[in-house]
Amino acid sequence: MNSLASEDPIAVVDTRLVHEVHRVGTSLLAEAAADPAVPPAALARLRDFLVANVRHHHETEDEELWPLLTAAAPEAASALDALSEEHRRLDKALDALAAVALGDEGGAGDARLALREAAVEVRDAVHGHLAAEEPVLLPALRERITDAQWKDFSQRVIATTPPVAGHLMIGFLDEVGTPAEVETVLAGLPEPVRPLLDGMRTQAADDLRTLRGTRP
């Protein structure tokens, strides 16, 4: 888990935790796909969560956050364009991962191997991309984006997030952040969702134990 400085603005806290979720989640899928004891339904939930959320994350960066940053810092446009090009390459890896068919017969054989290979490709692409993106993005968020701008942006992100295995986001956030950091990230959740958080945490814990081959 990355330690976040207490003086970090909300934009940096949100971004670094979500990036850590993507790192941990893609690593877990690559590992779990190699374990024949992990049921295909659990693999499919994690795969679908990652495809939907990683894609949505970089689409909102390209379409909304990059223009916001470019308006505040025109000199960043070239670096942000290069990151968008990496997003397009990542999309191809996500497409391949999404296309792997996982049936009800244990996901063995060719399907399990295909999932493993596609998951490793996505893991490596995500980890490499974030290593290149964070030195550009995090300082820009600290210096150029106000809390009010970030709140407006993050509310739009939450409103458009695909409803795919959302409990896994809660479970991963609890793993990569402190309780205070997680509450910061979840502050923008609609009020009707808040009573569901305990149940989502329980469901996530069950899924993550299954994916890791552990027991309560």
pLDDT (tens digit per residue) in 29-68: 999 999 989 999 999 999 999 999 999 999 999 999 999 9
Q: Rounded mean pLDDT of the chain? A: 91
Which tens digits make up the pLDDT trace of 135-166? 999 999 999 999 999 999 999 999 999 989 99
Weakest-pLDDT range from 12-21, 55-64, 104-113: 104-113
CA angle 200, 150, 154 (to 5 degrees): 30
**What b-and-e string marks burial along 138-173, b requiring 16 or more CB atoms within 10 Å of the CB?**
bebbeebbeeebbeebbeebeeeeeebbbbbbbbbb
pLDDT grade for 104, boundaries at 50, 70 and 90: low
Question: Does the pLDDT of residue 4 top 80, yes or no?
Answer: no
Average pLDDT over residues 17-28: 98
pLDDT grade for 5, boundaries at 50, 70 and 90: very low
Question: Does the pLDDT of residue 107 top 60, yes or no?
Answer: no
> Which pLDDT score is estimated for 206?
96
Q: Which residue has the tokens 């893609």?
A: 26
How large a percentage of the chain has pLDDT more than 90?
81
Instruction: Report pTM.
Output: 0.91
